[in-house]
Every structure is written in structure tokens, then in C-alpha cells.
Amino acid sequence: MVAPQDIAAAQFGFVAQSTTAEQLLVPWGFGGAGYLHSMVDAGQRLDGRARATLVDNEDELLALGSERGAKAWSWQEGCRCVAPLGAQYDARVAQLQQALGGAAGMPLTVRLSMHGQGLYRRFSWAVEGVAGQISLHVQAFDRYALPGRGALVFGLDNTSRLSDPARLRVIVQTPAGARVQTPWLDLPISGSADVQWPLQAPGPR
């Protein structure tokens, strides 16, 4: 098995060597996007040259279509390198659509809360309904495995690419392969707020 840091290094190398925004990179598991975006930004500032465009989530992957999707680059287990998806694009799309279709009618209730003070934030969550592996996708930043409920404290500094509000999606992958997910939910980082699904509207606490 390839170590995650080796996959990250291959993706960083691809971004560093890319020469046009027409080149597309699908990050492995859609994780670590914040670091990759930072590399794109830094490279453009250094030499003014365009870098690859990142495909940040499954919605963007589906929107590519077969022709562009086949030309998108991603980590490939077979060669242990970053290479074009080719025919794997259509296979990934079919697998994703099947997983989403299998989630019809499955219950999912989510509550996300943010409490801020200075440079620190306390993020808490509760996910109920269908059983499975839970992950939190932070748009253009990263993807994290989560237990059903919990809280964590994190800090912000000037190097953070976390947008305000943050765009979040909770995904539950069931043992049978269905994918139950929320829409993208906007949660303010500054101050204190919460957002619920199906009750979507965030509000101060």
C-alpha cells in the first residue's frame, strides 16, 4: 500500500510542473485540497505562470463530462503515479451515481455549530439517521472522517485558506455502498452560529 504522503508528494509535483489552467487535477479522495490550492497560488505569484485547476468535489467531477473527465489527472494505483483518468472517469461517475441513487429515502439529520473567540474556534457536530462511515467535506480545503458526534478546537492564522463562511457537506457511506449526503451548508467562521439539515438556515446563538 502506498503511503498517503507519497500520494501527496506526487500531486504536489504535478501542480508544480503544470503550465496551464486547462490541466485538471482530481485530488485523491478529495482530501488535502487546501494545501494544493496554496501551491497553485504560490506558484502563480512566483513566476506569473498558470497552474492546474483543481476539481474540488464530486459535483465538479460529474460536471466535467466524459471528454474533459477522461483528460483530468488523478492518482492511479496501477502506475502509482498521477495520470489521466481515461476510461476510469466514466466508471467513477457510474459508481457515484449508483451510490447516490441507493440513498433514496434514507434518513439523515445533521447539526453543525461554530463558536469563535479570537483566533480559536470550537466546532461541534451531531449526525443521526442512517448508519455508516461519516465524513465532513470542507469545500476547497479538506475531507475528514468523523464519529457520529463530537467537538474540536482549532486555530486560525493568516495562512489559512478556510473561507468565511465555510462550505460544508456531511457524507455517510453505508455498508451496502449507498451515499447519503447533505447539500452544501454555509457555516460562518466568525462569531457563533449553527446550521442544521433538513433545517438549513444558519443563525446566531
pLDDT tens figures, 76-130: 988 999 999 999 999 999 999 999 999 999 999 999 999 987 778 899 999 999 9
Residue ranges per structural domain of the chain: 4-100, 103-204
Pair 138, 161: CB distance under 8 Å: no
Query: Residue 189 has what DSSP assignment?
Result: S
Strand partners of residue 171: 135, 181
Query: Residue 144 has what DSSP assignment?
Result: E
pLDDT tens figures, 6-26: 999 999 999 999 999 999 999
Please tell me the distance from the alpha carbon of residue 117 to that of residue 113, in angstroms, as a whole number: 14
The closest alpha carbon to 15, from 71, 70, 112, 82, belongs to 82
pLDDT of 200 reads 47
- Answer whether CATH 2.60.40 is correct for domain 103-204: yes
